[in-house]
Amino acid sequence: MLIVIVGPMFAGKTTELIRRVERYVIAGKRAIVFKPSIDARYDSSKVAAHNGLKFGAYVVPPDEAGVEAIGKLGLDYDVVAVDEIQFFPPSLADVLNGLADGRVVIAAGLNLDFRGEPFETTMRTMAFADRVISLTAVCKVCGRPATRTQRLINGLPAPRDSPRILVGGGDSYEARCRRHYVRPA
């Protein structure tokens, strides 16, 4: 069973991943949570949500070696969860799809980058999913459901040519609805 939790930043993806993993732990299942080593925002060895919620995690590099480690270590568990899947190469999708034969796999990732382009690894994992949980945040401009993430530099939309990967939180990103998301120039 492969469950994918998807949405923009601040949608509650990490919170939902932790909530689901905790329930399996309570049920006596063996669970492991992975996160990419680039995400040291709030804690280096735990998955951390924007609201302070945390859960112990196994840190792996966001490359083919990390994907291979998830595929090998995951075999020994009933439940395998991976946060921030968008930072891993698309081969992660195939590895998670394989692990999902015989165990529960929960994957959380961003839908779109700040340019409004889909994250390939999230897309590929969604295609293999048995269930997709699509979450929205709250638009910082109007308060309606937000499906997009705006990167801001000094309060203005970051330009298209800024790097795709920039780890951050409310200091550099805002959740926006379709109407208030500004396509970077």
Active site amino acids: 84
Q: Are 32 and 160 in contact (CB under 8 A)?
A: no
Per-residue b/e over 1-13, b at no fewer than 16 CB within 10 Å?
ebbbbbbbbbbbb
What string marks each residue from 98 to 137 as x (binds ligand TMP by CB under 6 A) or -?
A: ------------x--xx-----------------------
Q: Does 149 bind Mg ion (CB under 5 A)?
A: no
Contacting residues for 101 by C-beta, under 8 A, at least 6 apart:
none
State which H helix or E strand residue 123 sits in.
helix 120-128
119 makes contact, choosing from ligand TMP, ligand ADP, Mg ion, none, with CB < 5 to 8 Å by partner type, with: none
What string marks each residue from 3 to 22 as x (binds ligand ADP by CB under 6 A) or -?
A: ----x-xxxxxxx-------
Could you tell me whether strands 131-134 and 2-7 are parallel, antiparallel, or unpaired per DSSP bridges? parallel
Residue among 3, 5, 12, 14 that touches Mg ion (CB under 5 A): 14
Which chain residues interact with ligand TMP by CB under 6 A?
9, 13-14, 39, 41, 84, 110, 113-114, 149, 164-168, 173
